Structure formats: C-alpha cells, structure tokens
Structure 1
C-alpha cells in the first residue's frame, strides 16, 4: 500500500469533474440505467398484481431477480476482470432493452403471462449481475484518483435521483397503458448504451489469467486477506440487514402515523431525498481525513435515525428521521465504495466489486425479510427500534474487531 491518494486528493478543484467528458458520459449512462430499472420495477410490480391479485406473486418478483445475481456473482466478477468492462456494460444494456421489447411485444400480442414476466425479470437480474460490479470497477479508469471520492458522491446522486423520479414516472406512464413504461425504460437503456459507447478511457489490456477455481474465488480470497476491505463490506451487510425498515413503511404509514397513500409516498421518497442532498454536499466537499471513523459515525447515525423513526408518532418527525437516515447512509456508501475501489488492484476490481454488490443485494433482500418477520412477531415499533439498536451495537463491535478500519485516516491506493 502507498499513501499517495491521501497526498493527491487535496488539490481537486470544485469543478474538476465537469472537465472530464468521460465522467459526464459515465454519469449519464448510470442515470439512464438506474431510471430505466426503477421504471421497470414499478411497472412489473403493478402488472403482476393486476394479473394475479397476489402478494405472494409480488414477492416472487424480488426472489426471481435476486437468484441470478446470487448464481452469477463470481462469474460476473471474473468476466469483468478479463474483458473490456465498457463492452460488458454496453452488451448488458442492449440485452435489457431487448428484454423489455420482448415484454412490450407480448403485451400487445396478449400472450405474456406471469411466468413470461418472471422470465424477463430473471434476464434483467442476470444483466444487472454483470452491470453493477463492472460499472463500479470502471470508475477509477474514468477519473483521476484525486477526484474518485467526489466522483463516487456524484455517481451516487445519479442513483438517488432515479430512486426519487423513477418510481413516480413508472406509475404515471402506466396510466397511459401497460406497454408505455416498458417502452420508456427500454429507451433509457438504449440511450444509456450510447452514452457508454462515448466513454473514452485510457486502460491497460485486461488480464488474461486462466480460468481456475483460484481465479474465480480470487475476490473472496482478496477480501478475506484485507481487514479494511472485509470490515467495510461486512459492516454494510449487517447494518442494512438489521436496520432496514423500508419493508415496514406501509404499516407505519397506515397504522402508526395514520396517513394515506400520499404519506406513504413521502416516506418512501425521503431516504432518497436525504441521500441526494448529502451526495450534493460530498460532491463539493470531499471527505479526506478520518475516513474510518466518519464511516462508523455515519452508520451509528443511521441506527439512531432508525430508532427515532420507529418510535415516532408524528409524520413530520418521521420524515426528518428518514431524511437523516438517507443522508447518513450515503456518507457510508461513498466512503465504503471509495475504500474498496482504491484498496483493490485494477485486475481484481471486477471480482471484489461483484462480492461487494452481492453483499449489498443480500442485505437489502434479507433485510426486508428480517424486518417483516420481526414486525410480525413483536410489532413494527419494537422491531424497528430493535433493528436500529442492533445496527448501533454491530457498529461498535466492528470498531473493536477491525482496528485498522477504525484508524484509517486517508484513502490509500493499492499497488497494482
């Protein structure tokens, strides 16, 4: 390891990112992909429920989407480290557009049933299994190391913007007919592919090491041997797994806060609004010193905000708590992702990021399952407060178990 990143990250000008055309194309591509995915998710959920009227059928959408990611994680990471990452993203974007074209054709023809939609969801999940780690591994080649944390914040803002706008757009477009949101999402993926084509980066020839069990599992081996990376990824896994309350928001909105669908919409949007606001701050003011403790504190604040939300009986207090929760989570996301990217050699970034995104996906999916089970057993208020408390406890434990991460002061760049 070297401390070069800490020395070179200071002089980055506020408008530095805007001078990098490659990053602007990268950001545009990510915005369009995230927007397309969010529009598609809302439209598919509504279509499935419209056809079946079953909550179980809706639940299977998430499962069908998650299983390909679980099965392809190690493979997708290895592919990202062996082949041109830009071409992988482009191919996946065209695959996603083609999948949506299949859905639109099936809707017009009247033969797309529930299982046809599940098949489309599985294809989209498989594409995302390749896109997510590959796109993240591309970023260090798009911007200079000095601008990477700031670029991560701006890239995160793309996702948060899509989280706010995408679901609303999907619902509005569906009102014009079931095929309309899928057509719009397909256009997003196609234009996103064109933006990816425009990205020009200087990169070394990809690694061509033979495909062996050792190389495929190289990401897991690398993470296990790097306490800072292991602590960073595992902290996010357990914090989100234990502290997630998103699955319980409909119950809080109706039974605790005594509000209607409009209130639920505000509650669902507020974490993304907080994250977007924090992303704007981090884009301008880079986190440069004391990164380990700042990440730990952000997770603790996330846990405290979760407890406050769970105990609140006032809609406005609940909205503020969710805003703070989203803002704190984004600080953790930016620091975590920057740490993982910078401490991983380029030839390993695909595999390491694949494991990282599997941890994120697992925590989100299992976190909703955990929240639902705990809410059913002990009530949503106790479950939410317990989840936030456990998040704080895990963070304090991780501070003791991973002293290198706690003491991390500046970003360090791996020796490639």
Structure 2
C-alpha cells in the first residue's frame, strides 16, 4: 500500500496541516496584537517566550507520560485543551480583556499542550506508517509545515485586518478540526508489538533516554547546533516584523514577507529527497547553518519592506532537507519503547534555549531597531557555523546506527 492510500496517516496529516495553519496565522497575529496593545517589542517577545518556556519545562515529564499512558487519549486530550485555550483567547480579545498577563497565561497553556502533542503525534506516525515509508512520511509532514507557513502569515494578517480577535477564533476552529481528524485516524494506543516500559521512576526513565543520546557521537553535537538554530532562528521573527513596519509596511505586507518562508519551504520539501543525498547529516548541518546565518544578515540590507522575502526564500529552501534527514536518522535509531522519552530529550536538547528566542529578538529590536537586530543575529549564527565546521564529530556524523561514543 502506498503512503497516499494510508488513510490513517493521511487523516493525521490533514489534521496537522489545518492545526499548523492556525498556528502560523497566530504566529504573525500575536506580535501585532501585543504591539497594538502595548507598543513594546519586548513584551511581544515575552508573550511568545512564555509558550516556548512552558513547552520546554513540560517536555521531559510529557515524554515519560506519553510512554506510560494511552497515547490516543493523551493526544486527544491535549488537542481538546488547545481548542479551549484558543477559544478563551479569542473571547478575551473580543471582550477587551486581552491584558498581557492573560496572553502569557494562555500561551503557556498552549506550550504545555505542545509538549504532549509532539511526542504523541510522533508515536502515532510510527504506529500507522510502515518503516519503509517513514522517510516519505516525514517529507510529507515537512511539506505541510511549509504549506501552512506559506498560507498562514498572509491569511493571519488579512484576518487581523478584519478584527483583532478573528485570527484567534480561526485558530480555535483549526484545533477542533485537528481533533476530529485524530479521531478518524484511529491512532493506536501504542505501536503493535511494543511493550510498556518498565517503570523506574521519572528520574530513572529520563536518565535512560539521556544516556542513550549521550552515547550517540555526532547526534549529540547536531542537537547542540539545532539548539542554537532554534534560538537564533526564533529570535529574528520580531525584528523582522519591526523592520517591515519601520520601512512602511502594514499587516498584509508583513504576512506576505513571512509567506516567503512557506513558499521556499514547500519547494524545499519537494527537493528534500534529492538534496538529502548530497551531503551526510553532519556536513548538511554545517551548510544549513551557514546559509541561514548569511540570509538573516542579508535581510538587514536597505532595499525596502519587501526585500526580506528574497533571503527568506533562499534559506527556507534548505530547511526541509535538514529537518527530514535528522528526523529520519532519529526514527532509525530510537527504540520503540523509548519513543516518548527520547523524543522529549531530543526536543529539549535542541530547543532548550527557545524560550529566550523571542525575548532576545524583541530586546535587540527595541534597543537597536529591526535592521541592526537582524545583522547581529545573523552574525551570531555564522559563528555557530564556524564552530560546527571545526568539530570532527560533526563533520564525520552519518546516519549509521553504530555511531556510539565509547
């Protein structure tokens, strides 16, 4: 059976695509709302950082509990809470009660839910997709992320222009539709043949996953690179919003600029199979970090509000290849009974600094303006690329399963 005929996976994929569209709509609408309410890029960063911080804090216990609990009910429960939180947010905006502390609290709730839905969805995909189709499934997953990134920002900007609450109401509907799709996908409670993990306590179960990652030479270093990519890649969002505004752009212009990420990413997802064969994972990480850093610096060039679309398009062409290759390596290496915990540890290792990203970006934009903030962030990313290129473990890292440290 081809992947396209796998109705359970396609139902999960459609639900994820709808939910991702809602997330990308509010990704652009939320900073615009906070800026409209407070005029502070720093506070916009605090609100975005609250979601990331909550996700990071909840990540490890969520991974352990996903391995312990009924995975279908865990995924459905987390999605139901996301529906409720998004609806409350839309209601607060409509009622004129969208104070910063309310936005922070609801963002934190959503972040905790993401900590559960991430590993639960990963295990669901493993449960409905055969091993020989796993790389194709990750490529399709990557394509829906970038398709949503293409449509989400301009749609979010358009809906925000209709009313400040409209994009958040649409986000609540997207979460509801994702929940319905999960029901139709008949997600397995756990993959066939998988034994329940022997419980050794939260600390012991997390320690097993940490030890597993530490023994994978090259993979642990790539996770550190990903940590810096997520920090600096998340930091450029608010400075870019500020930059477009400084150059005379409105909400629709901002959404259109960010849509370039989706356009490039969607094209990159189609090319990921070919591009992924050009370099081994370690060298691919070095090349991607270099392109990313150079593109962020290029956004600061004084060519008008629409210019950042060009460097956004360039680096987003390479993003899917990096994500698909790393996901396939992890899928090949992680034992079935450690999916939740290992996924949580890997996510924490790669996203541990993510809560600081919007705060860093907002603070730099408030202090120096959008263009200089982007220049600084891009330069820091090029430094990361240089450090990665100097590491023998990174340069020699492949997808072979025996890459284990002594």
- TM band (smaller chain): 0.7 to 0.9
Shift of 1:157: 1.6
Q: Structure 1 residues 268 and 110 mapped into 2: Cα distance closer, same or farther (>3 Å)?
A: closer
Question: Does 2:218 align with 1:246?
Answer: no
* Alpha-carbon separation, structure 1, partners of 2:92 and 2:55: 25
Q: CA deviation at 1:334?
A: 1.1
Confirm or deny that 1:393 pairs with 2:381: no
Separation in 2 of the partners of 1:195 and 1:387? Answer: 41
| Number of the residue aligned with 2:159 | 173
Q: Which moved more, 1:270-279 or 1:202-211?
A: 202-211
Shift of 1:44: 4.3
Q: Deviations over 1:221-246 (max 9, x none)?
A: 22112124312312211244356643
Structure 2 residue matching 1:198: 3-state secondary structure:
helix
Give the stretch that moved more between structures: 39-48 or 327-336.
39-48
Does structure 1 residue 188 correspond to structure 2 residue 174?
yes
For the pair 1:24 / 2:14, whether they are aligned, the reply is no
Deviation at 1:55, TM superposition (A): 3.6
Q: How many residues align?
A: 394
2:142 paired with 1:156: yes
The verdict on how the C-alpha distance between 1:411 and 1:78 changes in structure 2, with shifts beyond 3 A counting, is same
Alignment of 1:8-407 (within 5 A): 16-106=2-92, 113-200=99-186, 201=188, 202-203=191-192, 204-242=194-232, 245-250=236-241, 252-253=243-244, 260-261=249-250, 264-282=254-272, 285=274, 287=276, 290-292=279-281, 293-310=283-300, 313=303, 318-370=308-360, 376=367, 379-380=372-373, 382-398=375-391, 400-402=392-394, 404-405=396-397
> Does the 8 A contact of 1:92 with 1:127 survive in 2?
yes
- Residues 264, 110 of structure 1: CA spacing in aligned structure 2 closer, same or farther, 3 A cutoff? closer
C-alpha RMSD of matched pairs (Å): 3.4
Q: Is the 8 A contact 1:371 1:383 kept in 2?
A: no
Change (3 A) 1:393 1:403: closer
Given that 2:388 and 2:394 are in contact with CA atoms closer than 8 Å, whether structure 1 keeps it comes out as no
Q: CA deviation at 1:393?
A: 0.3
TM-score for the superposition, normalised by structure 1: 0.81
Whole-angstrom distance in 2 between the partners of 1:289 and 1:363: 30
Cα distance, 1:142–1:411 mapped onto 2, change above 3 Å: farther
Q: Which runs of 5+ in 2 are unaligned?
A: none
1:248–1:380 CA contact under 8 A, matched in 2:
yes
Q: Structure 1: any 5+ residue segments left out of the alignment?
A: 1-14
Paired residue secondary structure (2:390): helix
1:34 Cα offset (Å):
1.4
Q: In the TM superposition, what whole-angstrom CA distance separates every residue of 1:114-166 from its partner, at most 9, and x where no partner exists? A: 43333222211111121123222332222122221221121012122222222
**1:93 positional shift:** 0.7
Change (3 A) 1:80 1:176: same
> Which digits, 9 at most, give the CA deviation of each residue in 1:307-349, with x for residues without a partner?
5445575878753332121111221111112212221111112
Of 213-222 and 149-158, more deviation after overlay is shown by: 213-222
Q: Structure 2: how far apart are the matches of 1:103 and 1:311?
A: 37
| Distance of aligned partners of 1:299 and 1:37 in 2 relative to their CA distance in 1, 3 Å threshold | same
Judging changes above 3 Å, is the alpha-carbon distance between structure 1 residues 112 and 291 closer, same or farther for their aligned structure 2 residues? same
In 2 relative to 1, CA 299–137 (structure 1 residues): closer, same or farther, beyond 3 Å?
A: farther
For 1:263 and 1:182, the matched residues in 2 are separated by 20
Change (3 A) 1:227 1:251: same
